[in-house]
DNA sequence: CCATACAGTTCTAAAAACGAACTGTCAAAT
DNA sequence: ATTTGACAGTTCGTTTTTAGAACTGTATGG
């Protein structure tokens, strides 16, 4: 399973991973949400090699996550701006940050607080059901194949005809 | 910035990426949420090389995301089960799936539907503010350094003293 | 005794990432 | 007029990871 194959799997998770599922891409996107827009900005903030940065930016543009917009003629220069598709990654970023805040902080506490402009308070992101508004947890969710299903499906039984405990499980 | 360095950055996002920020780890975790627990199960579902799988599982156990539990003596065999820390990754997984459902589906529609046991309906995950319950978007959130802050901080201004447009930003 | 299940480990080749230098345009400073 | 520096990449040789396939070892069922 190579990168290009990932994007063709009938699994929304695999496809998304094909777009943003590597360390540098995720960090580049962090910078995007921090309003970094230019090549040098990304490079110096992250310490990524210029070669990789160029490649990752190209890919994100190709995928429609970033838009490459000229901000200057003469030596042609461009900025990389999040598209709506890119902005929609925000919940993923917040979920990642929140998990880190919960499980990866040292004794000094979380590196960053988030304040909600609307209510003015520092908050944590909570994932809820779009229908009833209740918080979600893995066990309360049941999945079943949708119209685009095939075999592997996302967060749903894929092809694993193996787990048939020959010996009783423990 | 290597993997081990990532986990020491004062940025909850970088630290989390240090744990789950690679393609195979994410896919392994998908399988975990699908109730895959054994080596062969992961291997055959994903097509990952056995070598990498062994390594990734070891790392996830070391990080406390999975627990390695014997399910059989004689030839000692173990299962890999999500810990609470691992289960807490659920919002990240759902956010990833949801983005894929929104932006990466083909004409056939989404591969998978999610049903909320409590209300019985198919739903989408929505991220809301823990304080006021309103849905969140990037623009409504303001960040500021927390007690564990240093320079790079997560989703907050890191060290990028560069972006000082010499020429007016067209 | 042989085939199979399972959970790895070992080895070599191929792919990706790193690191440092180089290209090229232009503006401001000397 | 020349040099310096900002900026946005590209090129290239080296190191690290990953892929792919085979091998190890215990145990079971036939």
For nucleotide D10, the protein residue with its alpha carbon nearest to C1' is A51
Output the 3-class SS for B15-82: HHHHHHCEHHHHHHHHHHHCCCCCHHHHHHHHCCCHHHHHHHHHHHHHCCCEEEEEEECCCCEEEEEE
In angstroms, how far is D17 C1' from B48 CA? 14
> Could you tell me if residue B165 is inside a domain?
no
CA-angle at B42, arms to B40 and B47, nearest 5° = 95
- If you average pLDDT over residues A124-132, what whole number do you get? 97
Which nt is closest to the CA of B53, judged by C1'? C8
B43 in a domain, yes or no?
yes
Does A54 reside within a domain?
A: yes
pLDDT band at A125 (very low <50, low <70, confident <90, very high): very high
A83-93 in b/e form (b: 16+ CB < 10 A) is: eebbebbbbbb
Q: What are phi and psi of B101, to 5 degrees?
A: -60, -35
B72, part of any domain: yes
Asked, for residue B65, whether it belongs to a domain, the answer is yes
Q: Is A78 on the interface with B (CB under 8 A)?
A: no
Contact (CB<8Å) A144/B112: yes
Q: What is the CA radius of gyration of chain B?
A: 20
In a domain, A98, yes or no: yes
Nearest-CA residue relative to C1' of C19: A49
Q: Residue closest to D18, CA→C1'?
A: B52
Q: Is the confidence at residue A163, as pLDDT, over 60?
A: no
* CATH code for the domain in which residue B78 is found: 1.10.10.10
List, for residues B21-39, the tens digit of each pLDDT value. 999 999 999 999 999 999 9
Compute the distance between CA of residue B90 and CA of residue B136 in angstroms, rounded to an integer.
18
Whether the predicted pLDDT of A96 surpasses 60 = yes
Residue A62: give the domain boundaries: 3-105+119-140
- Where does the pLDDT of residue A158 fall: very low under 50, low under 70, confident under 90, or very high at 90 and above? very low
Helix (H) or strand (E) holding B14: helix B12-20
What is the C-alpha separation between A155 and A137, in angstroms, rounded?
Answer: 13
Residue B3's pLDDT is 77
Q: What are phi and psi of B135, to 5 degrees?
A: -60, 150
- CA-nearest residue of chain A to B161? A41
Q: Is the CB of B165 under 7 A from strand D?
A: yes
B5 touches strand C (CB under 7 A): no
* List of chain B residues whose C-beta atoms are within 8 Å of the C-beta of residue A17: 23, 26-27, 96
Interval A82-90 mean pLDDT: 98
* Angle, helix B12-20 to helix A23-33, in steps of 10 degrees: 160
Query: Is residue B70's pLDDT more than 90?
Result: yes
Q: With respect to residue A157, please indicate whether it lies within any of the assigned structural domains.
A: no
C-alpha torsion angle, residues B39, A7, B25, A90 (rounded to 10): -150
Condensed to tens digits (0 to 9), the pLDDT of residues B72-127 reads 888 889 999 999 999 999 999 999 999 999 999 999 999 999 999 999 999 999 99
Asked if residue B57 is part of any domain, the answer here is yes
Chain B's closest residue to A38, CA to CA, is B163
Say whether pLDDT at A7 is over 90.
no
Average per-residue pLDDT for chain A: 88
**How do residues A36-83 score in pLDDT, each as one tens digit?**
999 999 999 999 999 999 999 999 999 999 999 999 988 899 999 999
Residues in chain B with CB shorter than 8 Å from the CB of A88 are 99, 102-103
Provide the strand spans (E) within A9-134.
66-72, 77-82, 112-116, 125-129
In this predicted structure, the answer to whether residue B65 has a pLDDT above a threshold of 50 is yes
- Is the confidence at residue B155, as pLDDT, over 50? no
How many domains does chain B contain in total?
A: 1
Q: Does residue A162 register a pLDDT over 70?
A: no
Buried b / exposed e over A20-59, threshold 16 CB at 10 Å, is bbbbbbbbbbbbbbbebbbbebbbbbbebeeeebeebbeb
A40 touches strand D (CB under 7 A): yes
Six token digits for residue B120: 């019985």
């Amino acid at each position: 399973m190579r990168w290009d194959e990932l994007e063709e799997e009938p699994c929304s998770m695999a496809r998304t991973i094909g777009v943003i599922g590597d360390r540098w891409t995720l960090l580049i996107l962090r910078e995007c949400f921090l309003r970094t827009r230019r090549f040098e900005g990304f490079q110096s903030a992250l310490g990524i090699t210029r070669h990789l940065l160029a490649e990752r930016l190209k890919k994100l543009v190709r995928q429609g996550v970033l838009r490459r917009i000229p901000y200057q003629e003469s030596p042609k220069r461009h900025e990389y701006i999040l598209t709506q598709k890119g902005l929609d990654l925000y919940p993923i970023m917040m979920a990642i940050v929140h998990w880190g805040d919960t499980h990866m902080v040292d004794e000094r506490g979380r590196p960053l607080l988030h304040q909600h402009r609307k209510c003015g308070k520092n908050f944590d992101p909570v994932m809820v059901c779009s229908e009833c508004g209740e918080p979600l947890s893995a066990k309360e969710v049941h999945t079943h194949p949708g119209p685009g299903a095939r075999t592997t499906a996302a967060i749903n039984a894929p092809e694993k005809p193996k787990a048939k405990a020959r010996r009783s499980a423990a």
